[in-house]
Every structure is written in structure tokens, then in C-alpha cells.
Structure 1
Amino acid sequence: METLNEYVAQIDPKQRERMQEVLDWVKENFPNLKPRIAWNQPMFTDHGTYIIGFSVSKKHLAVAPEAVGITQFADDIVEAGYDYTKQLMRIPWESPVDFSLLERMIKFNMADKVDCTTFWRK
């Protein structure tokens, strides 16, 4: 699997529309980010460094902005009605996507990692 379209095509049809909506939104709003599939999940990078990734489970869409991003937005995640772990937030399939929160996470990571020369934060 090499493209986002191939990834989306192979996931459960019940989850496909939501995942496509989120991936299209990122591509449209952050055209400078490079989409890729790694570790069997879609993610976006900027100058070779990880910015955000997504994955699916039976009950939710997972958004992974790295632990620093989760810590930075923990209160906002709860306010949006989502829960989170150290590395990701969970958006239940039946809940709307808070695109404003997603935008803030992406912009934060882009700014925080502007001088980062590695894929992951050190």
C-alpha cells in the first residue's frame, strides 16, 4: 500500500467516508504537507518530519500528533468530547470531527518542529 487512496479503499466501508473526509481536509488546508503511508497508516510530513497521523479502529478514528501535541491540547480534546492516550486522541465514529482542533494541532506541530531534522521529536 503506497497511497492514501489505496489505504482508504481497504478499510471498512463504515469508516471509509469519515477517513476520506479527514484526509481530504488535511490535503486541502495544508497543501504543503506531504501525505504518505508508513506503519500501515496515513500520515503527513513537513520537510521530512512527522506532523500528524491517523488510524482506524472499530470504535474510533485515532489522531496522533505525538505526545507533545496531546499534552499541548489535552484540555481542548476533552472539551471537544474526545478521549486520549499519551500518543493519540480518539474521535468516536458517531461524533463530529472538530476540524478547528485538528487545525490547531497541525499548526502547532509545524511551528514546533520547524527546525526539526529528525522524523520524530527527540
Structure 2
Amino acid sequence: METFAEYLATLKEPDQRERVEEVLEWVKEEFPHLDERIAWNQPMFTDHGTYIIGFSVAKKHMAVAPEREGILHFSEAIKESGFEHTKMLVRIPWSKPVDYQLLRRMITFNIEEKKNYTSFWR
């Protein structure tokens, strides 16, 4: 988690920092082969140089970005979890628990879908 330490230190709200750190640690434990990276001032995970998932912080939510294809594929599941989404990200309100099952499915989907990609983005 050294890669993310400086980013986490910038989060002023202790509850938000704790939540983001918890999610990042969970991803690293569940998917230890993924590489940690900070890009565009956001923590993200990559696999063989291709983007898998990224996270960012807003006042009312943590954003999870599995790329547009991930949003399209999981749109109904995202809504069923009680979260809103745009074309590019899922909003997880600070007041709601993280749906780790959904997060696992999104990451697994991107790893599988992008296993032969050689570019960063789809």
C-alpha cells in the first residue's frame, strides 16, 4: 500500500480516508497480482499494463470506475445494490456499505475481458 500512502494522506475526512484505505486493501488482498498505480491523482489497479479499476473521492461519495464497458455490463446490479452510476463511474455514498461482491464481479470481469489487451484503456 506504499503506492497509495501519499494519496491517502491527502484525504482530510478520517472516515473517508479509512473507507478508501479499506477498499484499496481489500482489492490488493483479493487480487494480489494487480499492480497499484496513481494516475490522474487517483488510485487504480492495472493488470499487465492495462487499466482494471480506479477510485476517487467526492464530498458525498466514493467513485468506482470500471470503465464504460463495466458500467454497461453491471448497470442492473449497480442499481440493485442501491448505487447510482454515470457512463463511467459508480457512486457509493459514504453512508452506505461497499458491495464487495459487486466490486469483485466488476474487477473479475475487467481482468477477464482485458486479458489480451495491450493498451491501457479499452
TM-score above 0.5, yes or no: yes
Aligned runs of 1:35-50 on 2, under 5 Å? Answer: 35-50=36-51
Please name the residue that 1:102 is paired with: 103
Matching residue of 2:3: 3
Offset, 1:14:
3.0
CA distance in 1, matches of 2:111, 2:3: 22
| Structure 2 segments unaligned to the other structure (5+ residues) | none
1:61 corresponds to: 62
- How does the TM-score come out when normalised to structure 2? 0.96
1:117 aligned counterpart, secondary structure? coil
Moved over 3 A (4+): none
What secondary structure, in the 3-state scheme, does the structure 2 residue paired with 1:8 have? helix
The match for 1:19 is: 20
Corresponding residue of 1:86: 87
- Secondary structure of 1:42's counterpart equals strand
Letter in 2 for 1:96: P
Question: Structure 1: 5+ residue runs without aligned partners?
Answer: none
Count of residues in correspondence between the two structures: 120
Partner Cα distance (1:119, 1:25) in 2 = 23
Moved more, 4-13 or 64-73: 4-13
What amino acid does structure 1 have at the position aligned with 2:85? Y
% same residue? 64
- 1:51 deviates by 0.1
70-79 vs 13-22, greater mean Cα deviation? 13-22
